[in-house]
Structure 1
Amino acid sequence: MTDPALLDRHRIELTAYCYRMLGSGFEAEDAVQETLVRAWRHRERYDESRATVRSWLYSIATNVCFDMLRSAQRRARAMDLGPAARPGTPLGAPLPEHTWLQPVPDDRVLREDGDPAEVAVGRETVRLAFVAALQLLPPRQRAVLILRDVLRWKADEVAALLETSTASVTSAVQRARATLGGAGLGEDPSSGPLDERQRALLDRYVTAFEAHDVHTLVALLHSDATMSMPPFAWWLSGRDDIAAVVTQSGQPCEHDRLLPVRANGGPAFGQYRDGVGFALVLLEPRGDRIAHTTTYLDAPRLFPFFGLPMSFPEPARTT
């Protein structure tokens, strides 16, 4: 193996794997970089008669993730940390970054030019809810479930990667599936590409948001919608409570602007206040309404990662 490009061509799928393992786009990129460095440094150890380059890289990436998870606490969403807040409840103190499941740009973890079924599974399995559920599993069970149920590796291939028995892999994946329960694959209709109705929904959301039309924004939510704002554990459940808080909050979002981007297999926006990057907003549509909004209040760190400018781009002047 003399060409590092042979290793780098696997970067996107390895980043997706490490993201599912670690729950952080930043950490996933660090893990993949370490994987590729280790692979190149020890390239003379690679034996093509025993494994493909791809499976060898996954073996290295798995060990890198295990190392990173050895002392890490589980990353979570706000709804995993406690009950929903009631209108009028203060935000409380922000929690450290390592508490939170972090978003990831689609172009770092998803290919759109493959088999449509594989593309759909890839998109579904980087959703915030699914990745949060994976964090409930011990690291080895997490790896087994991803390799078997997401990447569709055979049990003996996973056993070879983890240097264990096929029976052990089968047992681990059964326990993992039982733990995840309702977080199984193929159950969320929002995981597919946006249809015309949902694209129209997003257009209405942006128009209402930028016009500060609170009535329309609330009408676009499902009755059981949730709203959260990391790094605060505070979150809301239900359209009525969200409406009460948004209505009572005064005019903090008036004149804010939105710039579209893609995150975690779904629509997202850079939110700008007074022309400056303020937050990254992830929306999860379900049917013709919005089911979840997650607003990450860490623009200085997230915007460069997502390729978003820190200042809202003014339209080009024509002469």
Structure 2
Amino acid sequence: MSQPDFLSSARRTIQLEAEAVSDLVSHLDENFIRACELMFQCTGRIIVTGMGKSGHIGKKIAATLASTGSPSFFVHPGEASHGDLGMITSNDVVIALSNSGETAEVATIIPLLKRMKAPLISITANADSTLSTASDANLHIGVEKEACPLGLAPTSSTTTQLVLGDALAIALLEARGFSAEDFAFSHPGGSLGRKLLLKVSDIMHADQDVPEVESGTLLQEALLEVTRKRLGMTTIVDKDGKLLGIFTDGDLRRALDQNVDLKTTAIDNVMTRKGTTVSSEALAAECLQIMEAKKINALIVTDESNRPIGALNMHDLLKAGVI
């Protein structure tokens, strides 16, 4: 028995599936527009159904739609005939996947969907099938040859189903004006969610943890405050508690280079006036951009009266997973 040529097999499979996806572009027509309109105007949920491998693809399509601004879930067609059809209402839109368009479990529920007047979108390779002709919009994948050399295992057909599902989801995403922040709300546990949803108020040091000294404080005493609060900086405020400036590790190095006397020099003479501030409602991701642009490691959080109410540094952003 000859040695299997795994690489040639893989290259042939990828090439055949790539060609099937490329051909999909030529099959897009007014049915795709109609499908998008039905989904865009849907006041309920987008229900996706399919049997076997098409069902697995359908689950992914439903998940993609749900995470990109189009509420959606998957209903197994076999279970639909045994009670789960109650999950579907006339306000919903149904997307049914079947390569042949004749899948028995899907065909069984078509009359019931029509009776409840739920719009039906189909994704098939047979434009003359039972499912296709019963649909309000049929999306034809047009796959004539599977990548499987036996022509049996769904390969090219399921790949094109998946790509077509992505095309629908992205078309709707753009039509809805769905933003990165909207996406983050659907993915609060991911890195994008942390970057786009986390606010300064969620991670800043507040109250007694904010380093602060009054104007006129000697540099030596100010350094003790920097050490106590362990943020590598301290704020300097006037008698009304309003921000005058900031003193950082960088300011200390510059002061030492100038041989400044720590015991007799007032903090006002060596501080950076005003300093860079942010609002507590600002996104943590904005702070990262500010720090990187200005090449600084700490920010002061102020209120409407320019009083320091918080502070954070690069380590806080790193700890919060923003970096």
Q: Which of the five TM-score ranges fits, normalised by the shorter chain?
A: under 0.3
Could you tell me the TM-score, scaled by structure 2's length?
0.21
Q: Compare CA radii of gyration and give the structure with the larger one.
A: 2
Bigger relative contact order, structure 1 or 2 (CA pairs below 8 A, ≥6 apart): 1
Could you tell me the TM-score, scaled by structure 1's length?
0.21
